[in-house]
């Protein structure tokens, strides 16, 4: 099931969010400076109240890690089924025009109700986060000599936003690939990627999936990016808009988007061995306070800033997303080569 977000409702939402006092915390920098941390707490949304009472960690009642062990069905589609070059997934190089398609996802336990003011305001926060993250990435890439144009504005181009209803559970995102099977099939059948790319003049695309997660959710946002053929070429950032009772912020948006271009996490060991990030390096980066956005997403005080991203793309991340062809850090630590080596 799909429904293009009604432009009129969104415009109404936008004007409400811009002018109504209730929602000013997203836009008013002073509210963060005043330390109004409570503003960032999640509000009761349209999900069913009480359904998570027995489950403080937000997982399904069964062991979440035993949920889907059948792996993904990555070869379900041929490369020719995709309207983009699949060699590095749907998002390949941080260069030129890149479409960002937003999907407000209703799954088995969460849903969006755009008649509900809280949900409207949360969808507006998603837009604001995406805007700040996109501008941050464009500005930072400029420092590396790249002219990046992330085309995300669904007010300007309504074809960039959808509501999708899928038969999966966001809480299985870390346990197997069933969610990717379902999401990829849904994208393939419901989202006219080819015509969107044609319309905006882009040849790459990032898919942002927003879930209206409950206050009890403890599962953090994550990205299933295409890496060495081990997943679908559709690169999906799974954004859980409430986690640990805190609303999602611009820096995690930029962090997840960078994953689609090949960036590894720098706060945890690379268990799959794709980059070679080890515990020794993770400890070192923490001890030295490395302010790389792939390691940290707040200004250093543990509190999100909803108006600005304070973190950097340091040499290691720049190398792994293909902005540079060399990283002293990678050389010094003996990490694996970037997926961009040998491309182009
Ligand atoms: Zn990450």
Q: What are the beta bridge partners of residue 162?
A: 4, 103
Tell me the CA–centroid distance for residue 139 and ligand 1, in Å.
21
Q: Is residue 320 part of a domain?
A: yes
Q: Is residue 340 part of a domain?
A: no
Domain interval for residue 54:
2-333
Q: Is residue 170 part of a domain?
A: yes
Tell me the CA–centroid distance for residue 20 and ligand 1, in Å.
34
Tell me the CA–centroid distance for residue 199 and ligand 1, in Å.
30
Tell me the CA–centroid distance for residue 259 and ligand 1, in Å.
7
Tell me the CA–centroid distance for residue 294 and ligand 1, in Å.
6
Q: Is residue 253 part of a domain?
A: yes
Query: What was the pLDDT predicted at 178?
Result: 87
Tell me the CA–centroid distance for residue 263 and ligand 1, in Å.
8
Tell me the CA–centroid distance for residue 270 and ligand 1, in Å.
11
Tell me the CA–centroid distance for residue 50 and ligand 1, in Å.
30
Tell me the CA–centroid distance for residue 80 and ligand 1, in Å.
29
Tell me the CA–centroid distance for residue 260 and ligand 1, in Å.
10
Q: Is residue 65 part of a domain?
A: yes
Count of the separate structural domains present in the chain: 1
Q: Is residue 342 part of a domain?
A: no
Instruction: Identify the CA nearest to 4 among candidates 155, 124, 197, 119.
Output: 155
Q: Is residue 339 part of a domain?
A: no
pTM of the model: 0.83
Print the SS3 string covering 239-254.
Answer: EECEECCEECCHHHHH
Query: What was the pLDDT predicted at 270?
Result: 95
Tell me the CA–centroid distance for residue 338 and ligand 1, in Å.
16
Query: What was the pLDDT predicted at 24?
Result: 30
Query: What was the pLDDT predicted at 160?
Result: 98
Tell me the CA–centroid distance for residue 239 and ligand 1, in Å.
11
Tell me the CA–centroid distance for residue 77 and ligand 1, in Å.
27
Tell me the CA–centroid distance for residue 25 and ligand 1, in Å.
26
How far is Cα 204 from Cα 197, in angstroms, rounded to an integer? Answer: 7
**DSSP code of residue 164:** E
Query: What was the pLDDT predicted at 25?
Result: 32
Q: Does residue 227 contact residue 68 with C-beta atoms inside 8 Å?
A: no
Tell me the CA–centroid distance for residue 224 and ligand 1, in Å.
10
Number of helical (H) and strand (E) elements in the chain, helices listed first = 9, 9
Q: Is residue 13 part of a domain?
A: yes
Q: Does residue 270 contact residue 234 with C-beta atoms inside 8 Å?
A: no
Tell me the CA–centroid distance for residue 177 and ligand 1, in Å.
17
Q: Split the chain (344 residues) into runs of 10 and give each run's mean pLDDT.
A: 41 33 30 39 59 40 39 60 84 95 97 97 98 98 97 98 97 88 92 96 97 96 80 91 96 97 96 94 98 97 96 98 97 96 75
- 3 state DSSP class of 23: helix
């Amino acid at each position: 099931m799909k429904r293009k977000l009604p432009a009129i409702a969104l415009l109404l939402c936008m004007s409400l969010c811009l002018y109504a006092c209730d929602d000013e915390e997203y836009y008013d920098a002073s509210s963060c400076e005043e330390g109004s941390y409570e503003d960032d707490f999640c509000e009761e949304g349209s999900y069913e109240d009480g359904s998570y009472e027995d489950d403080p960690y937000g997982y399904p009642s069964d062991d979440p890690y035993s949920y889907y062990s059948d792996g993904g069905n990555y070869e379900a589609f041929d490369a020719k089924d995709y309207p983009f070059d699949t060699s590095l997934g749907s998002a390949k190089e941080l260069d030129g025009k890149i479409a960002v398609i937003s999907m407000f996802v209703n799954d088995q336990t969460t849903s969006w109700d755009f008649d509900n003011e809280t949900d409207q305001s949360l969808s507006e926060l998603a837009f604001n986060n995406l805007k700040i993250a996109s501008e941050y990435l464009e500005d930072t890439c400029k420092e590396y000599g790249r002219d990046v144009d992330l085309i995300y504005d669904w007010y300007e181009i309504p074809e960039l936003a959808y509501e999708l209803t899928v038969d999966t559970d966001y809480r299985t995102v870390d346990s197997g690939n069933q969610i990717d099977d379902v999401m990829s099939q849904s994208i393939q059948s419901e989202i006219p990627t080819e015509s969107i790319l044609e319309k905006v003049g882009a040849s790459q695309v990032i898919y942002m999936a927003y879930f209206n997660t409950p206050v009890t959710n403890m599962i953090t946002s994550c990205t299933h990016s295409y890496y060495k053929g081990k997943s679908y070429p559709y690169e999906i950032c799974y954004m859980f808009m409430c986690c640990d009772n805190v609303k999602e912020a611009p820096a995690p948006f930029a962090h997840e988007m960078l994953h689609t271009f090949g960036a590894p996490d720098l706060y945890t060991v690379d268990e799959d061995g794709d980059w070679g990030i080890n515990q020794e390096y993770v400890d070192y980066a923490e001890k030295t306070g490395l302010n790389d956005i792939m390691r940290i997403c707040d200004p250093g005080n543990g509190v999100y800033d909803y108006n600005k991203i304070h973190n950097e793309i340091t040499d290691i991340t720049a190398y792994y997303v293909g902005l540079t062809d060399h990283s002293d850090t990678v050389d010094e630590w003996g990490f694996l080569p970037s997926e961009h080596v040998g491309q182009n």
